[in-house]
Structure 1
Amino acid sequence: MTAPQALRPAADVAVGARRALLRLAATQSVHLGSSLSVVDILVAVHGVMRLTPEDLTDPDRDRLILSKGHAVWALYAVLSELGLLDLGPGRLLPGHPADGTPGVDAATGALGHGLSIGAGLAMAARLHGRAHRTFVVLGDGELNEGSVWEAAMFAAHRRLGRLTAIVDVNGMQQEGRTADVLDLAPLDDKWRAFGWNVATVDGHDHAALTRCLPAAADGDRPTVVLARTVKGRGVSFMEHSAEWHVGSLTPDLLSTALRGLGDPAPVAHG
């Protein structure tokens, strides 16, 4: 049984999640690069939410929308480390967040929809007099979608201060560097121009993320956290590489990747 998150350092949860993610990639094709980059963000958000299995059906709990749904493997791995999802042998999980999966608040996959869903949840919470927070995790390549900016305008206009967007700014997308596909700079100024509070943080610094997120979900303006990350984080041969946007691992590659995370045990070939 995995120890409760409150008793485990966030860094340990993140390493365990990366190991689980890599083992998933040994059984099927996984969006590896973007999943590895977002692990620390998801650990930090769940650290703020502090969900238990009993909380999953509580209407007053915080909400999390993984808008970059192709990185759902990171979410599965983090939920497993926190004891919220069973990744036991034979468990088949969809390649994008799907309704009915424990810990998944909304089905996502088509990029650009998650912030609209999050804004709707935040607005509904206000109308029903509920105080829970809504967190939406997006990718920087996803910001190419115009629907993201429609939702950003709506959230600022409605002064949805309990809504926080966290952008996984890993600088890459499937076609290459985000700056080459469609340059987003200056990203912080864009969000400010849309009426949002803006914070920029190292997206792999658990302490910095944890300090930033509770302060973000207050006030009368929504907040965006621009989390600077590395695609493929934690696996040296995947870092900064668009080639590992999607992939699976042979036993040899899995062993190499796990050793890079400090796991000395070889992976059995069979």
Structure 2
Amino acid sequence: MANTTQLEDFVTQVRRDILRQVHKVNSGHPGGSLGCAEFFTALYQEIMDYSTDFKMDGKNEDLFFLSNGHISPVYYSVLARSGFFPVDELNTFRLIDSRLQGHPTTHENLPGVRIASGSLGQGMSVAIGAAQTKKLNKDKHLVYSLHGDGELQEGQNWEAIMYAAGNQVDNLIATVDLNGQQIDGSTDRVLPLGNLKDKFEAFGWEVLEVKNGNNITEVIQGLQDAKEKTGQGKPVCILLHTVMGNGVDFMMHTHEWHGKAPNDEQLEKALAQNPETLGDY
């Protein structure tokens, strides 16, 4: 297990990777990616039991499904730095014929990616199906998923949330990235989500909250606590409070960097706040 300093160094390098990926092609989604760097680091460096000898069926290992696929830069960075594919392949982000498309796809055969995502609202259904399959196969491993808060405005989520509780899908841990921002503004302004804790509990879920989703220690503890709640008849939800654009002062607390790449000067300022730790690709 890595110590806290090693994990924080990993997070810092991931932030650099995110910034450099989107800058190179002047395209992508840095805001939500930066906000979830700690979550992905905790998941792949500390929590999940997985093999980098990637097989699509995912038998006898934990699975992760990214529902809000537009935050692919953080996903690609952590997969690469966790050993799924060469780190220097990050250089090909969003290029023609690259395996690292703007939204993850399966036909590119990129190790670590099991579903095409980015068409919002579908990841919960996929994760539930995978979790039920593990139960049928008597596979004791868990299924993890990540969803944007604005993404919960999609109605399919709530059908799936109701289904998961009604069918006691208790080997699922679904995390909601609560940054309060979406592409057109704050979630409160676009379409208020109300009290998500009360809503998930009303639908029959076990709910935990991580108040500082950009603190690696708190994220790890939250995921460990969620694991302890599995197997008790209820699906588990983590409400992860994060800051969009975290780690880059001029990108934080605003929707403006949801889907905008930094220019040369902005990249230089952002990278200065996130010094190289593990080596740039």
Q: Normalization by structure 1: what TM-score?
A: 0.91
Q: 1:54 Cα deviation (Å)?
A: 2.7
Q: 1:84 Cα deviation (Å)?
A: 2.1
In 2: Cα distance, 1:263 partner to 1:53 partner: 25
Does residue 1:214 correspond to 2:224, yes or no? yes
Q: 1:252 Cα deviation (Å)?
A: 2.0
Residue in 1 that maps onto 2:36: 38
| Structure 1 segment 73-84 matched on structure 2, within 5 A | 73-84=73-84
In 2: Cα distance, 1:51 partner to 1:120 partner: 19
Task: Describe the SS at the equivalent of 1:54.
Answer: coil
2:51–2:61: 8 Å Cα contact kept in structure 1?
Answer: no
Which amino acid in 2 is paired with 1:17? V
Residue in 2 that maps onto 1:21: 18
Residue in 2 that maps onto 1:113: 122
Q: 1:251 aligns with which of 257, 264, 271?
A: 264
In 1: Cα distance, 2:165 partner to 2:6 partner: 34
1:20-63 residue CA offsets vs partner (Å, 9 max, x unmatched)? 11110221101111111111111122220143423656521100
2:248–2:270: 8 Å Cα contact kept in structure 1?
Answer: yes
Which amino acid in 1 is paired with 2:265? D
Task: Describe the SS at the equivalent of 2:250.
Answer: coil
2:209–2:222: 8 Å Cα contact kept in structure 1?
Answer: no
Does residue 1:236 correspond to 2:249, yes or no? yes
2:49–2:61: 8 Å Cα contact kept in structure 1?
Answer: no
Deviates more, 1:211-220 or 1:72-81: 211-220
Q: 1:124 Cα deviation (Å)?
A: 0.7
Task: Describe the SS at the equivalent of 2:144.
Answer: strand
Residue in 2 that maps onto 1:131: 140
In 2: Cα distance, 1:213 partner to 1:30 partner: 28
Task: Describe the SS at the equivalent of 2:88.
Answer: coil
Which amino acid in 2 is paired with 1:21? I
Deviates more, 1:51-60 or 1:139-148: 51-60
Q: 1:81 Cα deviation (Å)?
A: 2.2
1:118–1:135: 8 Å Cα contact kept in structure 2?
Answer: yes
Does residue 1:145 correspond to 2:154, yes or no? yes
Residue in 1 that maps onto 2:95: none
Task: Describe the SS at the equivalent of 2:248.
Answer: coil
Which amino acid in 1 is paired with 2:144? F
Which amino acid in 1 is paired with 2:261? S
Which amino acid in 2 is paired with 1:115? M
Does residue 1:98 correspond to 2:108, yes or no? no
1:19–1:261: 8 Å Cα contact kept in structure 2?
Answer: yes
Does residue 1:156 correspond to 2:165, yes or no? yes
Which amino acid in 2 is paired with 1:104? V
Identity %: 35
1:67-95 residue CA offsets vs partner (Å, 9 max, x unmatched)? 00000111011112222232426532111
Uncovered stretches (5+) of structure 1, i.e. residues with no partner? none
1:103-126 residue CA offsets vs partner (Å, 9 max, x unmatched)? 112111110000000000001110
Q: 2:239 aligns with which of 218, 226, 229?
A: 226
In 2: Cα distance, 1:72 partner to 1:246 partner: 12
Task: Describe the SS at the equivalent of 1:224.
Answer: strand
Deviates more, 1:109-118 or 1:215-224: 215-224
In 2: Cα distance, 1:245 partner to 1:149 partner: 24
Residue in 2 that maps onto 1:187: 196
Q: 1:263 to 1:215 in 2, by over 3 A?
A: closer
Residue in 1 that maps onto 2:48: 49
Task: Describe the SS at the equivalent of 1:227.
Answer: strand
Uncovered stretches (5+) of structure 2, i.e. residues with no partner? 93-97
